[in-house]
Structure 1
Amino acid sequence: MWVIAWIMEILRRVFVAFGLPDGAGAAWVLSIIGLTVVVRLLVLPLYNKQIRSSRQAQVIQPEVQKIQKKYKGKKDMVSRRRMQEEMQAVYRKHGTSPFATCLPMLVQMPILFALYRVISAFPGISSGRREALGPITKELATDFEKSTVFGAPLATNFRTAASTNSQIVIGVLVLIMSATMFYTQHQLMRKNMPESALDKSNPMYRTQQIMMYGMPIMYIFMGGVLQVAVLVYWVAGNIWNLCQQAWFIRNNPTPGSQAYKERQKRLREKRERKGLSKEEIEKLESEDAARAGGRVQPLGKERSKKAAAKAANRALHNDADDSDVDEADSDKPEEVRGKDGLTEAERARRRYERRQAERARAKNKAANRKKRVQQNQKKRNF
């Protein structure tokens, strides 16, 4: 709350220095919008990571669905654990995580809660019931309470609004907030998801649908208890996210999505206008497809050396026995192996077999123990 209060006051002073009137007025409204911009710029690296993780999560959906289909109907603990291990191996292979898409939201929620509490503290500060909060003195709190957005005071909400005009302004802000949230999710689903992910049986597709319809409805119910200042912050943030996502979808779309096809079409037309030949255009398109094929998990120094040595030995072997090498096998990519010489799938399989053996030994011990108890019981009865 102290940090949020200082950021708002510094931004207000900046806008006043640029010619806006001091005291109650537009400077306070713009300070809230400026707070939105500051927060969004701070979380921009996390947003970039979220976009990359979302793309990778969509690209690996066929592999994830294959694993889910493999363990469909198996409810025992061993099968569920085995499925989780194989899915984690797929996520590590592609350098993504199912939780990476939540990072920007997790970072922004404490800021939103702090802003809500700061706005709630202004009436108490202006009336003298509460001490100053950082730079927010009684005079500044009074100026904030007198500031309005189209006639609606910044510190009021739908329930405490003193006029119908304020309720109408709050209702419009809530509708804009819900509409921008819906369009953001709709844009993400319809333009930036590959056709393979647009399957109703796909859990990610179902999650996106729930968010597309559920979040706007939740906003409508939440809007009645949020102050006008918080609604301004949320609307500005949604508009920022909408524009930012539109830029990313246009310039860095997910491979296989509608936006990706539209971008490839624009690039082809641009290269044709430059006078490039058909062969040059096809070469550039193949390079674009290779770059968009997904992030390769980086290797450590030792693993890079081992991978290079294996590649060199394989090349020598292929040169010596070229006639015995099948073309399909030669195009198969080398699987990344660790220091133990195993891939992630082989390592997960060994862990599974080791646990099965441990359970079998524990089961045999329990059976032998029970058998000895029964034998001792028979002897005592005899």
Structure 2
Amino acid sequence: MTDTILAPVMWVVAWIMNLIHKVLAFVGMSDGPGPAWVVAILGLTVVVRLLVLPLYNRQIRSSRQMQILQPEIKKIQKKYKGKRDQVSLRRQQEELQALYRKHGTSQFASCLPMLVQMPILFSLYRVLYAFPAIAEGKRGALGPITKQIATDFENSTVFGAPLSSSFRVAEDAGSAATNVRIVAAVLVLFMSVTMFFTQRQLTMKNMPDSAMDSSNPMFRTQKIMMYGMPVVYLFMGSVFQIGVLVYWVAGNIWNMGQQAWFIRHNPTPGSQAYREREKRLREKRRREGLSGDEIAQLEAEEARKNGGQRVQPLSKERAKKAGIRPGDSLVSPHPADRDADESGEQEEASESAEVRGKDGLTDAERARKRYERRQAERARSRAKQANRKKRAQQNQKKRNF
């Protein structure tokens, strides 16, 4: 049943691996058993990661935007705190959805790369699982994978561990059982460590300080993933074949490097990575000979693009009186750096600064009106149904007489 559902993806995975193997053989690597099949799995990793790169970029941007919106999300949640009736819960959800639409983000965009890669991962598992049966003639060819190719793959190893063997069935590898257990254990451990550092990098370095609060559901989820996923990997790793573990480890290394690049060049405003980037840019601009006012002007423009408030740079005399040294940032704090539980006066000021449309309403107010209009329509519909039922009962009584 599983192979029937995954058959198209398994066929594509088999063709990609075989094509990469043929290219490697063409450039001089062994066409039979050997390291070319290990490199083919690494090549499959690169192909898959390049295919999901647009989704990954969307995931990072969506996660970044969700972190920036945390103060506004907290304000909506605080507004409906303690209200558990259906009307309040629905209004809260509608206001949150309006906020997500306004900023072009979604709660589920961060899951897209994982959802795309899971079928590929399980298809690779089923392809490698089928290799022994194909090599023994118990099963027909799988796409380009013939009996001879499957036999060559079966005889390919990673430090003496066959690619199609796993920790759980290491005894099937005969004399190589010890190598299988050692290699599998090392790969699983390395996989868990890389996963931990990837999640830690995303959580501790690229989250705004205002979002790193135990009351923030997103922060709690990230911490659970940071500590929980490596543990899950430790248990799952014993099931997967050496070839799948090679694919998974290579993918984690790719993710770690890709994420490090993204965080370095496009960090979330208010995060540690953002402050480090601002410091690097400031030092670079000083080396280029820019004055303190010019640096402040550039930082103000960048803050405006990131959603912060633009502050006019001060003259040298005014800056000196204010105690600001040349080159210090004159940019106002980003919304992500502000505390969600501000005083009532600050909340009123922020509410008055909300963007209003041509109808004079904000997105939240417009969502509330839509909800109230739908509620009124439903009430009218229920009243009409009640009237029709009442008339039908009256007519029935008249007929009985």
- SS in structure 1 opposite 2:128? helix
Instruction: Give the number of aligned pairs.
Output: 343
1:289 aligns with 2:303: yes
- Taking the aligned partners of 1:117 and 1:360, their CA distance within structure 2 comes to 55
In structure 1, stretches of 5+ residues that fail to align are 295-327, 377-382
Query: Do the aligned residues in 2 keep the contact of 1:186 with 1:212 (CA within 8 Å)?
Result: yes
Matched, 1:349 2:363: no
Normalised to the residue count of structure 2, the TM-score between the two structures is 0.80
Partner Cα distance (1:221, 1:264) in 2: 41
- CA distance in 2 between partners of 1:344 and 1:115 (Å): 46
- CA deviation after TM superposition for structure 1 residue 239, in Å: 0.4
Residue number in structure 2 paired with 1:325? none
Letter in 2 for 1:335: V
The question of whether the paired residues in 1 share the 8 Å contact of 2:141 and 2:147 is answered with: yes
User: Structure 1 residue aligned with 2:88, among 61, 68, 79?
Assistant: 79
Superposed, 1:28-43 pairs within 5 Å as 28-43=37-52
Scaled by the length of structure 1, the TM-score of the pair is 0.83
Once the two structures are superposed, residues 291-347 of structure 1 have per-residue CA deviations (whole angstroms, 9 ceiling, x without a partner) of: 2228xxxxxxxxxxxxxxxxxxxxxxxxxxxxxxxxx99xx7672526x66442222
Match of 2:294 among 280, 294, 301: 280
* Cα distance between partner residues in 1 of 2:382 and 2:23: 73
What is the CA distance between 1:19 and its match in structure 2?
A: 1.7
| Residue 117 (structure 1) aligned to one of 126, 129, 138 | 126
- Describe the shift of the 1:336–1:15 C-alpha distance in structure 2 as closer, same or farther (beyond 3 A): farther
CA contact (8 A) 2:162 2:180 kept: yes
Counterpart CA distance in 2 for 1:47 and 1:373 is 60
- Supply the distance in 1 between the matched residues of 2:361 and 2:77 (Cα, whole angstroms): 23
Q: Is the CA contact 2:94–2:368 (under 8 Å) kept in the aligned structure 1?
A: no
Query: Cα RMSD over matched residues?
Result: 2.6
Q: Using the TM superposition, give the Cα deviation of residue 66 of structure 1 relative to its aligned residue in structure 2, in angstroms.
A: 1.2
2:72 is aligned with 1:63: yes
The 1:348–1:138 alpha-carbon spacing in structure 2 relative to 1, beyond 3 Å, is: same
Deviations 1:231-259 (A, max 9, x none): 00000000000010011111110000000
Residues 340-379 of structure 1: matches in 2 within 5 Å? 342-358=361-377, 361=380
Q: Of residues 155, 159, 167 in structure 2, which corresponds to 1:158?
A: 167
Q: What is the alpha-carbon distance in structure 1 between the residues aligned to residue 384 and residue 144 of structure 2?
A: 70
Distance 1:118 1:79 in 2: 50
Output the CA distance in 2 between the equivalents of 1:20 and 1:47: 33
Q: Which amino acid aligns with 2:68?
A: V
2:63 is matched with 54
Q: Could you tell which deviates more after superposition, 166-175 or 347-356?
A: 347-356
Note closer, same or farther for the CA distance 1:349–1:144 as it changes in structure 2 (3 Å cut): same
Q: Structure 2: which amino acid aligns with 1:143?
A: D
Match of 2:257 in 1: 243
Cα distance, 1:354 vs. partner?
A: 2.2
Map 1:131-210 to 2 at 5 A. 131-162=140-171, 163-210=177-224
Q: Which residue of structure 2 aligns with residue 301 of structure 1? A: none
Greater CA drift, 145-154 or 356-365: 356-365
Q: Is the 8 A contact 1:255 1:293 kept in 2?
A: no
Q: Deviations over 1:139-193 (max 9, x none)?
A: 1100101111111100001111131221011011000111111110001111100
Q: Is the 8 A contact 1:132 1:138 kept in 2?
A: yes
Residue type matched to 1:12 in 2?
H
Distance between the aligned counterparts of 1:56 and 1:292, measured in 2? 10
Listed as ranges, the gaps of 5+ residues in structure 2 are 1-9, 172-176, 309-347, 396-401
